[in-house]
Amino acid sequence: MEEKIKDFLKRWEGCRLKAYRCPGGVLTIGYGHRIIIGEKIPDVLSEEEAVRLLEEDIARAYLVLRRLVKVSLCPWQEGALISFIFNMGSGAFQRSLLRSKVNREEHEEVPPEFLKWIWAGGVRHRGLLRRRYEEAIFYGRGKL
């Protein structure tokens, strides 16, 4: 499952080996890695460095998921939530009704919650809508 999540994130994030600002205005590099103030990142990454950062970010998202979700999940449900946490951040997930519904095991009500998270920089983002739709399908049916 971890390879499938990594492939899913690679497809959605794309790879940029030089830093850029994402649609939400966050300084980003590689496969959607958010650069934190003071973080030592080369001006230009190699593909291997970009993959390493992606794997570290996925590991952090798993830690967040384990800390904030108190119920058992199927691998595909975990995968959809990892993608969401990776993209939107742990704070957004922690505050979300999406997380509340997962923890209340209202699984049939979770997929529509993904579709509420389609805004970047105050603008409805078509790419986020498509991504959230895929996450919702993945969560609900286990398919991409």
pLDDT of residue 2: 82
Match 């997962």 to its residue by tokens: 102
The residue ranges of every structural domain in the chain are 2-141
Overall average pLDDT of the 92-106 stretch: 98
Read off the DSSP letter of residue 1.
-
Tell me the average pLDDT of the chain. 94
User: How crowded is the C-beta side of 104, counted as CA atoms within 13 Å?
Assistant: 10
Sign of the CA dihedral running 17, 129, 132, 101: positive
* Catalytic residue list contains 13: yes
2-141: what CATH class?
mainly alpha
* Catalytic residue list contains 74: no
pLDDT of residue 1: 67
Read off the DSSP letter of residue 27.
E
Catalytic annotation, pick one of 2, 15, 22, 134: 22
pLDDT of residue 22: 87
Q: What is the pTM of this model?
A: 0.92
Residue 37's SS3 state is coil
Cβ pair 14, 67 in contact under 8 A: no
Overall average pLDDT of the 127-139 stretch: 95
